[in-house]
Chains A and B, each alone.
Chain A
Amino acid sequence: MARLFARPVMRALAALGLAVSLAPAAHAADPLTLIVPWGAGGSSDVYARTLALSMEKTLGTDIVILNRPGAAGTLGTTEVARAKPDGNTVGVSALAPFTMQPHLRHLAYDVSSFDYICKPYSSPMALVVSDDSDFKTLDDVIGYAKAHPGELKYGSPGPGSLPHLAMVELGQKAGVEWTHLPTQGGDTGNVRNLLGHHIDMVPIQIVPIASNPIRPLAVFTDERLADLPDVPTVKELGYDMAHVIWGAMFAPKGVDPARLAQLEDACAAAVASDEYQSLLETVKVPDLYTGMDETNSFAVEESDKFKRLLAAAGMTQQ
């Protein structure tokens, strides 16, 4: 995933470098700190930096981006949870640290510790097989899995990751058993194992599909994707479920509502900006922006869903 996003990072980094070097005299207001609980160059980082380009202009303040990776994103997210709720420290991350990790580890926060200002990105996943696979449709896969329980192996970037839980849910809905083979190294590590026939299938994001001899069988989004118009959704194939790797900008609870509204407006304007839209196009991510109210309730729904799926996956509940 990380590898897909470098140009905007560069652009953002360069702009940020300029901003940092030129700006201090220009802005009197306190800088806004965006904590990204992942490494520089990772997908959340790229989205955050591209958002910052436009938000600096709208808000008229400097934006400082702090990368605080570690412990599956929970270190940086804890830092956001503990920050003073003055509206000058917010986090930007994909969903796992606030919707999944609280079910897995003892943390100083849970999903209700934050206000979710906006949902700037939602990266779709597709279930793929290698080009030379006998499986042409999702029905082929499920038919085979029914006849051969546990034989098919699917990859994921790690236990408790969204691709893992999506396959757990699909297995439940289809009434089949398959074997999980997690691999570090994200989508690329899984594509490698797929091409080497060490796994049979894996849910990945959209960009690698065009550049590798792999075939998408179904997408996990609510609706078909513009980039893959012929690929059916899991839902239309009869399995009532949907997953997308969404990210939010979030603030610790207790920030003044007027400030939250200001940040929400700035986020909306940033998502609509040319830079951000061209980023979405490059990484084949549809614009599924939602504002604060909708994102707040969505976060809670997702957290409940993952609690159920993590239990189904037999993962430690603490």
Chain B
Amino acid sequence: MLDILLTLLRPDTLLAMVGGTALGVVVGAIPGLGSILGLSVVLPFTFGMDALPSIVLLIGVYAGSVYGGSVSAILINMPGTPQSAATSLDGYPMAVGGQPGLAIGWATLASLVGGTFSAVVLMLIAAPVATFSLRFGPPEFFALTLMALTCVVAVSRGSVIKGLIAAVVGLFVAVVGSDPMTGDLRFDFGVLELSGGVNRVAVLIGLFALSEVFMQARSVDTPTAVDTSALAFRLPPWSAVAARLKTLLKSCLIGTGIGILPGTGATAASFISYVEAKRSGRFRANFGKGEPEGIIASEAANNAVTGGALVPSLALGIPGDAVTALIVSLLIVKGVQPGPFLFMRDPGFIHSLFAAFIIINILMALIGAALTGVFARILAVPTAILLGAITLFSMIGAYSLAGSGADVITCLVAGVVGFVLRLAGVPLAALAIGLVLGPLVEESLRQSLIMTDGSFVAIFLRPYSGAVLVLTVALLAAVTLGNRGERPQRTTDEVA
């Protein structure tokens, strides 16, 4: 135990943890720039570093950026990263309601709890959980994506039909490009750039950041009154937290679970967790109006994904997303081979990594608290300048994804489409869910049909996929019945 602590207190490890986390928070907070950009910035620094400091540097950036996205989601209704899109649903109304500092406090607390929870899960049961998750094959993934898609119904306040249309649009955008099973090109219209598919991150940046810029640009002359006294970072009182403890824990579980399974990620996790809290939370009636329970549902879940995603990465050497793929590759070239044997051969390293992960989550909260005052000052920046800067960052972010002008155009088009959809009261969250899950839905369904010789029924005649389907139907019934009591509201800023 003592030697683990001593490794972590080495100056290079310490510097990597603090520096990586701080950079992650800042990059995450700037709309348009995200986790991947932050990681590419620090990658060169791992040259010449030992295994542990270089890994904690990457993990710090990863966890920090997922948390940082919430800051701009709350303050200016533009999620800094797609992972925090669901946070703006209640975070922004709360900030507008005069409590930006407290809203960030909730997000920070939830991120801290979510991240730490997943770290403990990682520490305790990484190996068995990762092995169990192998039983989830294509049919199980298809069942899970079906369950996630039912969330569309729940996020579609106002009009379920509009939500479903948006989800189908999202699914359709994900279909453009090469067919995952046959390689045939679809909907490319002879344009080479389209034959590789639409860059989904560019779409998300346009959809959430740019379209909000357009929304705010409509009323840019209206001066925003900023109550500077409320900008200071404030943690919620314990009694308020205690009342929302169930949602907090549930969101941790949802995030960790989704993180363990490959291909879904933090964006979907935060939406799914938000929807679940909206269905079952104690304060569900206030959702969308600045209810902290909505903030914690989103933020606990997206940060819990970070630890969850490390479970299969470390225990099996099988990364679930682009970020953990980079971490796994770094481990391998540093001479640490992730996989079932790592836990037996090098327990010291693993325990140091776990401890570092928990420390990073604490650092993240401290850095977030310290920087809130700085971040909150962006509220005092004249709106026109702020909107200009965010447009610029969104373009840079979209270009940096692949160095391609096509992605910038994609981002702009998505921004305009998002703007129109907002005006029409179409929930963007539904579109995002369709878009994010689209490739997984298609791949898992097509693979399943290959496995079952084309039988849709046989997909669900397996224990886990069948169980997930039953759960989905139950959820759908619960959400539908729950919605019946609510009067549909139609508002134009039904944003997501």
What residues of chain A have their CB less than 8 Å away from a CB belonging to chain B? 2-11, 13-17, 39-41, 66-72, 74-75, 78, 104-108, 153, 158-160, 179-185, 188-189, 191-193, 195-198, 207-208, 210-213, 282, 315-316
Contact = CB atoms under 8 A, between A and B. Distances in A.
A66 B54 CA distance: 24
Given A13-B43, A68-B404, A181 B451 contact: yes
B183 interface: yes
Given A7-B334, A66-B403, A159 B179 contact: yes
Given A68-B403, A71-B196, A198-B451, A3 B181 contact: no
B329 A192 contact: no
Interface string B162-184: 00000000000000011111111
Contact of B316 (A6, A7, A66, A192): A192
B135 A4 contact: no
B312 to A, nearest CB: 8
Contacts of B463: none
Nearest to B199: A70
Given A75-B404, A196-B134, A6 B330 contact: yes
Given A106-B190, A184-B439, A153 B403 contact: no
B44 A10 contact: yes
Interface in B104-144: 134-138
Given A10-B47, A182-B447, 13 more contacts: A4-B329, A6-B329, A7-B334, A41-B326, A72-B178, A105-B195, A182-B180, A183-B443, A189-B262, A195-B134, A211-B339, A213-B340, A316-B185
B380 to A, nearest CB: 36
A226 B439 CA distance: 39
Contacts of B138: 181, 198
B317 interface: yes
A104 B188 CA distance: 13
Contacts of A104: 183
Contacts of A41: 43, 326, 329
A159 B316 contact: no
Contacts of B340: 212-213
Nearest to B136: A196
16 contacts: A4-B329, A7-B334, A14-B48, A39-B402, A66-B403, A70-B406, A75-B404, A105-B185, A153-B450, A158-B180, A181-B451, A185-B262, A188-B317, A195-B134, A282-B333, A315-B184
B290 interface: no
A183 B325 CA distance: 16
A71 B190 contact: no
Shortest Cβ-Cβ A-B pairs, 6 listed? A71-B196, A7-B333, A3-B329, A14-B47, A159-B183, A198-B137
A181 B450 contact: yes
Contacts of A188: 317-319, 325, 328
A11 B195 CA distance: 33
Interface in B310-344: 312, 316-319, 325-326, 328-330, 332-334, 337-341
B47 A107 contact: no
Given A159-B183, A185-B262, A196-B135, A13 B44 contact: yes
The contact size tier of chain B is 35 or more
Contact of B47 (A11, A72, A315): A11
Given A7-B334, A41-B326, A160 B183 contact: yes
Contacts of A212: 316-317, 339-340
A78 B192 contact: yes
B306 to A, nearest CB: 18
A108 B134 CA distance: 42
A161 to B, nearest CB: 9
A5 to B, nearest CB: 7
A211 B262 contact: no
B228 interface: no
Contacts of A70: 193, 196, 199, 402, 404, 406
Nearest to B326: A41
B40 interface: yes
B52 to A, nearest CB: 15
B316 A195 contact: yes
A2 B192 CA distance: 24
B46 interface: yes
Nearest to A310: B183
Contacts of A107: 192
A159 B182 CA distance: 6
Contacts of B46: 6, 10
B402 A196 contact: no
A71 B333 contact: no
A72 B177 CA distance: 10
Interface in B12-61: 40, 43-48, 54
B195 A2 contact: no
A93 to B, nearest CB: 15
Contacts of A211: 317, 337-339, 341
A107 B447 CA distance: 29
Contact of A316 (B47, B184, B197): B184
B447 A67 contact: no
B326 A6 contact: yes
B400 to A, nearest CB: 10
Interface in B178-226: 178-185, 190, 192-193, 195-197, 199
A15 B45 CA distance: 10
Contacts of A210: 337
A112 B173 CA distance: 34
A184 B180 contact: yes
Contact of B317 (A2, A158, A208): A208
Contacts of B333: 4-8, 10, 282
Nearest to B334: A7
Contacts of A67: 402-403
Contact of A2 (B137, B329, B338, B403): B329
